[in-house]
Amino acid sequence: MSAEPDGPEDRLRRFATIWSRAVFPVTSTSLTRPEFEEQLLPLARRLSEALRARTFEAAEGRSVGAALVAAHCTDPEALSRALDCVDAYLVLYCGEDGPKEALRTRSARLQHAMAAGYAEALRERTLAEQQAISQAALTARSAVAEALHDSEARFRAVFEGAAIGIGIADLEGNILQCNGALLRMFGGSEQTMRGRKVTEWTHAEDAPQVWRLYEELVRGEREHYHVEKAFYRPDGTALWTNLTVSLLRDADGAPQYQLALMEDTTERRLLNLRLRYEATHDALTGLPNRTLFFERLEKALAAGEGQRFGLCYLDLDGFKTINDSLGHAAGDRLLVEVADRLQSCATAPGEMVARLGGDEFVALTTGPDTERKVDELAGRIMNALVTPVSIDGRDLTVRGSVGVVEGPAGERGAAEVLRSADITMYRAKSAGGNRFELADPEADARAITRNGLTTALPAALDRGEFFIEYQPLVHLGDGSVRGAEALVRWLHPQHGVLGPDRFIPLAEHTGLIVPLGRWVLEQSVRQARSWQERNSDAGPLRVNVNLSPCQLTHPGLVQDTVDILEREGLDAQALCLEVTESALIGADDDLLKPLRRLAEMGVDIALDDFGTGYSNLANLRRLPVSILKLDRSFTRGMQQFPADPVDLKIVEGIVSLAHSLDLAVTVEGVETGAQAEQLRILGCDTAQGWYYARPGPPERLHELALVDAVG
């Protein structure tokens, strides 16, 4: 231990050490204790100097107190410890060379000043801190307010500017607010909306779940729902919407409001309805089309036990003739008229009429007693066609063949039912048309469907299933055979011999008629040539070949004919091409050109089935024809004796007109000698019919001609 006594500096430091040890534990500072002591040392020095100063300044104590606050000795305990320390040790360590009593007084005054300075500093600091906090709070609050304002402004803008309708209502359904889009959708004003209740907005077409979902939402059991819903506008029209309703809860999660967002789908819905209408209705007649009919039929066939269906399948008789001879516009008008009439036949619930295409219509009846109803329906349909249809001042007779199918639901599919109806309709047509027939399962099984025939047609030509029969054409004056008409047949592997009425329309439809027609022409020309070789003394036998309208428009017609005649070595004069009247009436020059070319070469052109096509007799002059073939319907009127005088007059008129135009007249369908005699008297030139011979093999004709020649 050093004997050297401590200097004043050492003592000052010791005071600082004691002070720091007393206060450090209650100080919230990040300094270490020695570092803290270093901070206190200058304060200790100031106190020491104040204590010993010539003139005493208690204010030094104030600044030391304030410095303590600045040094984070803000704990109340820190001040009292500091004062205790000053009280006990300041005079002891720093006032050894002065009068003790005066030093003690000074120390006491310094302590008071320290306390005052400390309190002052602490208050200021607290104030400053509070101010900072409140300032911060203020700043924060205004930032929040601004943000709120912003978001509300944004919300307002969205609310008002939205193209979608937005409405807010309370949970009782009282409407509180609506945006402009919603008002525009409804076509009402804010006032008229505000007083209203959501629950008033029922609509006849509301789906059952619409109001159930609503109840669940307002009870707080569901957060939102989405439905398609209609509303009545004030003017009574319907507003269709996609509606989304959401539940709005308050800060505590309790249901508070309902928010509705609605999108106006009225236009889209109308468009969809329109598109659906167009997809399911026939543009010409406005009747339901095949698609819609199949939907209904399938529904009827899927109906429950005890339910039945009845179906009438109608095909107009001879519609093609009308279409060909009067033009498509007239044909269309006829179809529209027929459609209207049919529509009025099936007006009861569960009944419908549809157009399947072309001149084919269907009428459907459903329910438990269709056995009776379908019969009545078929009767009404036949009746509806009785009155002629007036088009362009002409009364057109409309006839139709109907196939009727009736049965219980749940047994057959739509396609099968329709097939049966089609077959039955065909049976009605084969039986002469203008009637209805009832479906018969056995007949169905045997029936030949048009579809089946159509698909078999192309192969039939390749396989040589077609053959030709010839029906003699007889000169009425002397009874001699002048030639024959070639009539094609199809020897079908399953169905036996099919007449041309069964497959020619199908061949026309598929285009096969062109190669088939060429084949017939080739065969017939070869046949005619062979007759001439074998029968030179009976005069040249001619051959008549039928041309279908499709062949007329085919560009190869003239060249094919020329080639065939040359190849087979037959004179053009020995060939007559028969074209139906309906194919030529209204024909333009382009269509007539090939026929004119053929006529110039010497080929005869005959107007077939004359009298069925509503043609204008004055038109005959334009046509390159040399023969009129009077339709069978004229000869039919002469079957009974005495013949119908009106028929006689008509035929007489036609014959004299034809002759005045240099046309020869051939009559078809002569079945009796009486008819033949009548027609001869009336001046007809040639005849054809069962009275002379049915169509048969080519050898028969040769024999007949030979008999002629001999007899």
- Interface with ligand C2E by CB under 6 A: which residues? 471, 487-488, 499-501, 504, 517, 520, 546-548, 578, 608-609, 632, 668-671, 688-690, 695
Q: What long-range pairs does 453-459 form, CB within 8 A, spacing at least 24?
A: 453/492, 453/498, 453/502, 453/503, 453/506, 454/506, 454/509, 454/510, 456/492, 457/503, 457/506, 457/507, 457/510, 457/512, 458/510, 458/512
Structure tokens at 96: 């050894």
> Does residue number 578 form part of the binding site for Mg ion (CB under 5 A)?
yes
For 449, list phi and psi in degrees, rounded to 5.
Answer: -85, 150
Q: Which is nearer to ligand C2E, 370 or 544 (CB)?
A: 544
Question: Residue 391 forms beta bridges with which residues?
Answer: 394
* Residue with Cβ nearer Mg ion (255 or 696): 696
Q: Around Cβ 280, how many Cβ atoms within 10 Å?
A: 17
- Quick check: 232 and 207 in contact, CB under 8 A? no
Q: Binding residue for Mg ion (CB under 5 A) from 74, 265, 532, 546?
A: 546
Q: Does 471 bind Mg ion (CB under 5 A)?
A: no
Minimum separation from the CB atom of position 597 to Mg ion (A): 21
Q: Which is nearer to Mg ion, 331 or 689 (CB)?
A: 689
> And the tokens for 358?
């072309």
Shortest Cβ distance from residue 556 to ligand C2E (Å)? 15
Q: Which of 317, 406, 608, 685 binds Mg ion (CB under 5 A)?
A: 608
Q: Tell whether residue 609 is a contact of Mg ion (CB under 5 A).
A: yes
Question: Segment contacting Mg ion (CB under 5 A): 294-302, 456-464, 521-529, 570-578?
Answer: 570-578
Q: What is the DSSP string of 505-552?
A: HHHHHHTTHHHHHHHHHHHHHHHHHHHHHH-GGG-PPEEEEEE-HHHH
Rounded Cα distance, 200 and 193, in Å = 11
Which option in ligand C2E, Mg ion, none does residue 690 bind, with CB closer than 5 to 8 A by kind?
Answer: ligand C2E
CB of 557 to ligand C2E, least distance (A): 12
Closer residue to ligand C2E in complex, CB, 93/610:
610
Listed ranges 130-138, 177-185, 376-384, 576-584: which one lies at the site for Mg ion (CB under 5 A): 576-584
CB of 547 to ligand C2E, least distance (A): 6
Report how far apart, in Å, the C-alpha atoms of 423 and of each of 280, 291, 339 are.
25, 20, 22
Q: For ligand C2E, which is the closer residue by CB, 78 or 565? A: 565
Structure tokens at 114: 């320290």
Distance of CA 453 to the CA centre of its chain: 33
Query: Using CB distances below 5 to 8 A depending on partner kind, what does residue 487 bind out of ligand C2E, Mg ion, none?
Result: ligand C2E
With respect to ligand C2E, which residue has the nearer C-beta, 500 or 586?
Answer: 500
Closest residue to Mg ion, based on beta-carbon distance: 578
689 binds, among Mg ion, ligand C2E, none (CB under 5 to 8 A by kind): ligand C2E
Strand 627-630 to strand 664-667: parallel, antiparallel, or no bridges (unpaired)? parallel
Which partner from the list Mg ion, ligand C2E, none does 548 bind, CB cut-off 5 to 8 Å by kind? ligand C2E
CA dihedral 170, 176, 180, 181 (to 10 degrees): 20
Nearer to Mg ion, 61 or 517 (CB): 517
CA distance 1 to 155: 85
Contact in structure between 324 and 407 (CB atoms under 8 Å): no
DSSP-assigned letter for residue 617:
G
Closer CB to ligand C2E, 245 or 521, in the complex = 521
CB 103 within 8 A of CB 155: no
Give the binding range for Mg ion (CB under 5 A) out of 256-264, 275-283, 565-573, 575-583: 575-583
What is d(CA 61, CA 101) in angstroms, rounded to the nearest whole number? 19
Q: Are 328 and 582 in contact (CB under 8 A)?
A: no
- Total of chain residues touching Mg ion, rule CB under 5 A: 5
Cβ atoms of residues 577 and 606 within 8 Å: yes
CB nearer to Mg ion: pick between 60 and 578: 578
- Total residue length of the chain: 711
**Amino acid in the structure at residue 667:** V
Residue 596 interaction partner, one of ligand C2E, Mg ion, none, beta carbon < 5-8 Å per kind: none
Q: Which is nearer to Mg ion, 359 or 578 (CB)?
A: 578
CA distance 23 to 67: 14
Min separation Cβ 402 and ligand C2E, Å? 23
Q: How many helices (H) and strands (E) does the chain have?
A: 26, 21
Least separation in angstroms between CB 322 and Mg ion: 17
Whole-number minimum distance, CB 630 to Mg ion, in Å?
Answer: 9
Nearer to Mg ion, 312 or 625 (CB): 625
What is the closest distance, in whole angstroms, from the C-beta atom of residue 546 to Mg ion in the complex?
4
- The closest of 533, 534, 605, 618 to 572, measured between CA atoms, is 605
The CB-of-629 to Mg ion minimum distance in angstroms stands at 5
Strands 175-178 and 308-317: unpaired
Residue 671 contacts which entry, Mg ion, ligand C2E, none (Cβ below 5-8 A, type-dependent): ligand C2E
Binder of residue 695, out of ligand C2E, Mg ion, none (CB less than 5 to 8 A by kind): ligand C2E
DSSP string, 212-259: HHHHHHHTTS-SEEEEEEEEE-TTS-EEEEEEEEEEEE-TTS-EEEEE
Nearer to ligand C2E, 405 or 583 (CB): 583
Closer residue to ligand C2E (CB): 379 or 458:
458
The CB-of-521 to ligand C2E minimum distance in angstroms stands at: 8
604 binds Mg ion (CB under 5 A): no
Write the binding mask 656 to 675 for Mg ion: x where contact by CB under 5 A, - elsewhere.
------------x-------
**Beta carbon of residue 502, minimum distance to ligand C2E (angstroms, whole number):** 9
Least Å from the CB of residue 403 to ligand C2E = 21
Strand blocks (E) in 38-149:
none
By the rule CB under 5 A, 581 interacts with Mg ion: no
Query: Which residues of the chain form contacts with Mg ion (CB under 5 A)?
Result: 546, 578, 608-609, 668
